[in-house]
Structure 1
Amino acid sequence: MTKRFWNLIKISPVLVATTFLAANSALAAEVNEKVTNVAQLSEAQDSNNIGQVTSVSQFSDVQPTDWAFQALQSLVERYGCIAGYPNSTYRGNRALTRYEFAAGLNACLDRVNELIATATADLVSKQDLATLQRLQEEYSAELATLRGRVDGLEARTSELEANQFSTTTKLVGEAVFNVSQPFGGDRAVAAATNTSARTKLNSNTTFSDRVRLNLYSSFTGKDQLQIRLTAGNIVNNNTGTGATGTNMTRLGYDVGTADNSVSIDKINYAFNFSDAIRVKVDASGGELWENVNVFNSDFSSSGRGALSRYGRFSPIYRQGQNGAGLTVTLNPNEAISLTGAYLAQNTNGTTVNAFGANNPGLNNGLFNGDNTIFGQLSFKPNKAFNIGLTYAHTYLAGNSANNLFQSTGSAFANNPFGSTFNNGVSSNTKIESNNYGVEGTFQFSPKLALSGWGGYTTASTLTGAARNAEIWYYGATLALKDFGGEGNVLGIIFGQPPKVTGGNIRNVGTNRNLDRDTSYHLEGLYKYKLSDNIQITPGVLVIFNPENNNNNDTEYVGTLRTTFTF
């Protein structure tokens, strides 16, 4: 091919210039180079915006001393079938394939035919036409292949358009199969509970599931409407008389029901207000951990992350759970991100929250019921290190199910002012809390990452007897990536779930702080990538001194989770 090519160049400068043309205009028809980074993607996108030129002097990288200058000049001025990049460069030294050459040649042939049709054939010499004819014959096979490929793409596109689910919506699904068994000695009890009559923990093996179907719609290309359907029967390990007796053993993907009934549990719409501002409006099921960075990307997902509830991220992101509201994220540059949010809890499924933001008959609504005001500043000085400072102010309007951390940690830490622990304190006490957190992640190498969090909460009553509590917690995760194979992750998670460490909360009978001891959370898991769409995760969860009571037996939860994505 090389010898024939250079022999043809001797015939006419048209061939030389066509070679340069193909290096540019053919990119719009076919990009043969694999895009592996953002810079290449940007260059490929630029190549689709090649503009026609009227003078060779418009190319900043083409000089009169260049060996092909006259050929380029002839093609531009005589035929007008040459184009350049948007930044006024021609990039004449770029290598090209035979397909690209054929596409460029075809462009010139189309231009010649146009000139003939408009009675300007005198601009084309017989010698040039003979050359073009020889070129067309020489590359007839490539031109036919190119036309065939285009015809094939058009046929496939037509078929997809005729049979696709929607022109604006795509379906993304996840199915979790879970085999699990908690085991240990006696069920855990709170420190204030009479421990003389304990019951054995039920250690039966269970097999359960959770399925989620997400409908993602985009109307501008930079926005997203999400509607999620959920069904499942993975029961909370703390549910029932034979269970573990503590929420510390909860899995990160339990659904709280046992009938696999289908419900729409999440509706939201996100869009770009500008290049630096992202806005998300939650109508139902809003959760802070899905709206902001939680600094634990290897384990934050419920279906593909940590096995436990506590191991996914800091409890501060549980504030305002299942709410409606607004989240705004500002990214002025790659190093700094600032997020502000407001979420108010809704009536959720069949469990009626008497202070829901979506019930006008309860005299609470969006602003007077349970709500959270949230802010987070994250700083990423380099690709390896990222740190966040987080604050959340939460108001609980006196629901009997007051729950500071949405059942993460000890029962006392989640509702330190309930009648169970304070001998007659009203169950509808209004509560406010100020939550402070620091989170961070450090990427030692592409295959080793360390993440962690620490949090401090002050909570106080707004009605009834004046009470206050101080609560601490922390956690750390270690991820060994590509361990035993590409895409696999070996994880270790350790921490202290929320624990009441101070305040004037006292049991009337014992006059002592109820969370007198310390619970520890230890988790080991191995995320095995069976394929791009199937992940198998075996692991074990160990809770030392459950419910912050060292009189309780250590509890274990063995789990095998299989996650299908489609």
Structure 2
Amino acid sequence: MSNLLWKALVVSPAVLGATLLVSATAIAAPSTTKEVSTTEAPAVTEFGLSSEVLAQATPAANDAKVIDQVNRYSEEGKENTSLSQVTSVSQFSDVQPTDWAFQALQSLVERYGCIAGYPNGTYRGNRALTRYEFAAGLNACLDRVNELIATATADLVTKQDLATLQRLQEEFSAELATLRGRVDSLEARTAELEANQFSTTTKLVGEAIFAVTDVFGDNTGDVNNTVFQDRVRLGLQTSFTGRDLLTTRLAAGNATPFDIRDTNDVTLPSAEGTQTFQIGSTGNNSVEIDRLTYEAPIGPAQVYLAAAGGRHSHYAAVNNPYFFDKTDGGNGALSAFSAESPIYRIGGGAGIALNIPFGQGGGILRPSSATIGYLANEADSPGAGEGVFNGNYAALGQLNFSLGDRIGLAATYVHAYNGEGSALYDSGLGLTNSAGAPVGVVGTQQANVLPNSASSNSYGLSAAFRPSEKLSVSGFVAYTDVIGSGAGDDFESWTYGAGVALADVGKRGNVLGVFAGAVPYSLNRTGFAGSGDVPYQIEGFYKYRVSDNVSITPGVIYLTSPNQNSDNDDAIIGTLRTTFTF
């Protein structure tokens, strides 16, 4: 075989040019052969290539590698990668008359026009050559010869060249067939993707939650019924650079929290027992944009911009593995309290945040980071006492530390301002109950209701410990000092909790979790009766992974001392949540 190829290369400049043409027109395929430069003299013979170079190789079976090499070659000279025909070899700035292949190139250009180069005036003939690339170049020249024959210019093609090309076709028939098959396959896949793709920069993701839920416990149980609720989110995730992310999310739902009653059968404006899929629900399945954010790196820092629906937990480390599902999704804990520390529920809306790494880390202490953010939930309104800086806002600062590979720590501070008639832990949603009283998404009314404008300072600690790959222990504690503008409006609130999660229980992807603690409460607050008891919540759930896209989560939420009053009957919420993701 090698003798035939040497003679062919000597006899026909068309064949030699085919090898040179590869660097500009070849579709690369993986090969285990050695490689050689096409514009530098070969080390073995005066005219030919080493037999080692053209030794038979086994092509890689992985199409992903083929695509990767195709992309890599197409990225060469990214500033102007399209190829164009040349009419003279002197047009190539990187081909000199002293190059060993100069005459062959010149002959190919003048006789067949079988050479293409980059518009920036380069030929790039010093790129490595494999047997499959040789075959690809040969195929390109065959196409050019066929074109000349079809256009009645066959007199330009000599019988000698045709005979040589025919022999090479036979010699490289396997490689040519392989390349053509791969090209056809890639073209078919590309055509299918182009025909069905949503966008070249945007991915559509979605989540649908079906939940059957009920509450039990004397007065509370009597006034509530078993309900079947839903929430659907469709998100458009767009990346312009591969490192940034623009999130546009549409949401609709009909889920509302249960009506918690006291011993006198009076509705409590409380957020106790609120479940994640009930947060931000429109209540009637009407569609709204509930998140519009953009995240991108700037130097070492990560920037977060929110135009609508911003949350502190979008950009700050929550340290609650398995219980937390970003933005109250349907794959973590059932309740808002168990999902994340309530300190992240103070404020929300539009704003900006930065996550800045610092420290080199050494020994057990790993590199750390600082997080700062500002969110305002009335940023879109130009009215008096509203806007970015004069309306409700919350500014967060957090230090994040990692100890080894298994411990995460965070210290959090939030300074907030809330106007009259609002709730403290409302995630910037401005929620009210059926009677028009402000309610949060977590905590009692004593810890939430702000009848007059008030500022607050909150301090929190959170930690997560993973002693093994399938066991996680996490917890938090937070304290808030509220300074109100009205008489008796000053108060303090506390919240704390801890949980244990076991992963892969019964099946890979399943999670068994138990979380318990005190929801945000304020003892002995002026103007609120029966506020001397701590309201505890205990939740247990088991997420069963049916498939990669479907999970079923049965769980129970147990509430003690609703409205911070042990005389009120305890409430038990039972839920069967099914989550579909796509």
TM-score (norm 2): 0.69
CA distance in 2, matches of 1:210, 1:388: 31
| 2:348 paired with 1:325 | no
Q: Which residue of structure 2 lines up, in the alignment, with residue 517 of structure 1?
A: 533
Matches within 5 A, 1:96-495: 102=132, 105-107=135-137, 132-160=168-196, 164-187=197-220, 201-238=222-259, 246-255=270-279, 259-301=283-325, 302=328, 303-321=330-348, 323-332=349-358, 335-346=367-378, 357-397=379-419, 399-404=420-425, 406-415=440-449, 427-428=451-452, 430-461=453-484, 463-465=485-487, 467-495=489-517
Alignment CA distance shift 1:395-1:45 (3 Å): farther
CA distance in 1, matches of 2:302, 2:70: 26
CA distance in 2, matches of 1:481, 1:165: 35
Q: Which residue of structure 2 lines up, in the alignment, with residue 565 of structure 1?
A: 581
CA distance in 2, matches of 1:555, 1:529: 28
Q: Deviations over 1:108-138 (max 9, x none)?
A: 76589999x9xxx9xx999998985554134
Task: Give the secondary structure class of the aligned counterpart of 1:516.
Answer: coil
CA distance in 2, matches of 1:276, 1:44: 31
Q: Which residue of structure 2 lines up, in the alignment, with residue 538 of structure 1?
A: 554
Alpha-carbon offset, residue 339 of structure 1: 1.5
On the 8 A contact 1:201/1:244 being kept in 2, the answer is no
On the 8 A contact 2:371/2:398 being kept in 1, the answer is yes
Q: Which letter does structure 2 place at the counterpart of 1:319?
A: I
Alignment CA distance shift 1:521-1:131 (3 Å): farther
Alignment CA distance shift 1:261-1:383 (3 Å): same
Kindly report the root-mean-square deviation, in angstroms, between the aligned alpha carbons of the 2 structures: 4.4
On the 8 A contact 1:235/1:256 being kept in 2, the answer is no
On the 8 A contact 2:53/2:131 being kept in 1, the answer is no
On the 8 A contact 2:474/2:499 being kept in 1, the answer is yes
Alignment CA distance shift 1:170-1:239 (3 Å): farther
CA distance in 2, matches of 1:8, 1:543: 87
Q: Which has the larger radius of gyration?
A: 2
Alignment CA distance shift 1:273-1:102 (3 Å): closer
On the 8 A contact 1:338/1:375 being kept in 2, the answer is yes
Structure 1 moving runs of 4+ over 6 Å: 5-12, 20-23, 43-51, 74-80, 111-115, 124-131, 239-245
Alignment CA distance shift 1:273-1:489 (3 Å): closer
Structure 2 unmatched ranges of 5 or more: 8-47, 78-99, 106-114, 116-125, 149-156, 361-365, 427-439
Alignment CA distance shift 1:256-1:106 (3 Å): closer
Task: Give the secondary structure class of the aligned counterpart of 1:247.
Answer: coil
Alignment CA distance shift 1:552-1:156 (3 Å): same
Q: Which residue of structure 1 lines up, in the alignment, with residue 93 of structure 2?
A: none
Alignment CA distance shift 1:167-1:113 (3 Å): closer
Q: Which letter does structure 2 place at the counterpart of 1:309?
A: A
On the 8 A contact 1:14/1:75 being kept in 2, the answer is no
On the 8 A contact 1:223/1:269 being kept in 2, the answer is no
Structure 1 unmatched ranges of 5 or more: 35-40, 52-73, 81-87, 93-99, 188-199, 347-356, 419-426
Alpha-carbon offset, residue 178 of structure 1: 0.9
Task: Give the secondary structure class of the aligned counterpart of 2:223.
Answer: coil
Task: Give the secondary structure class of the aligned counterpart of 1:147.
Answer: helix
Q: Deviations over 1:421-468 (max 9, x none)?
A: xxxxxx32x21111111112122222222221111111122x232653
CA distance in 2, matches of 1:203, 1:76: 88
Alpha-carbon offset, residue 242 of structure 1: 8.1
Alignment CA distance shift 1:137-1:228 (3 Å): closer
CA distance in 2, matches of 1:147, 1:15: 27
Q: Which letter does structure 1 place at the counterpart of 2:136?
A: N
CA distance in 1, matches of 2:465, 2:481: 29
On the 8 A contact 1:21/1:104 being kept in 2, the answer is no
CA distance in 2, matches of 1:527, 1:7: 68
CA distance in 2, matches of 1:297, 1:273: 24
Alignment CA distance shift 1:133-1:329 (3 Å): same
TM-score (norm 1): 0.71
Alignment CA distance shift 1:331-1:45 (3 Å): farther
Q: Deviations over 1:146-194 (max 9, x none)?
A: 233233234324423xxx444443322211111001001244xxxxxxx
Q: Which letter does structure 1 place at the counterpart of 2:208?
A: A
Matches within 5 A, 1:539-558: 539-558=555-574
On the 8 A contact 1:238/1:247 being kept in 2, the answer is no
For these two proteins, the number of residue pairs brought into alignment is 472
Alpha-carbon offset, residue 483 of structure 1: 1.1
On the 8 A contact 1:22/1:103 being kept in 2, the answer is no
On the 8 A contact 2:259/2:267 being kept in 1, the answer is yes
Alpha-carbon offset, residue 379 of structure 1: 1.4
CA distance in 2, matches of 1:253, 1:414: 20
CA distance in 2, matches of 1:484, 1:45: 43
On the 8 A contact 1:327/1:341 being kept in 2, the answer is yes
Sequence identity of aligned pairs in percent?
33
CA distance in 2, matches of 1:404, 1:255: 12
On the 8 A contact 2:259/2:268 being kept in 1, the answer is yes
Alignment CA distance shift 1:394-1:258 (3 Å): closer
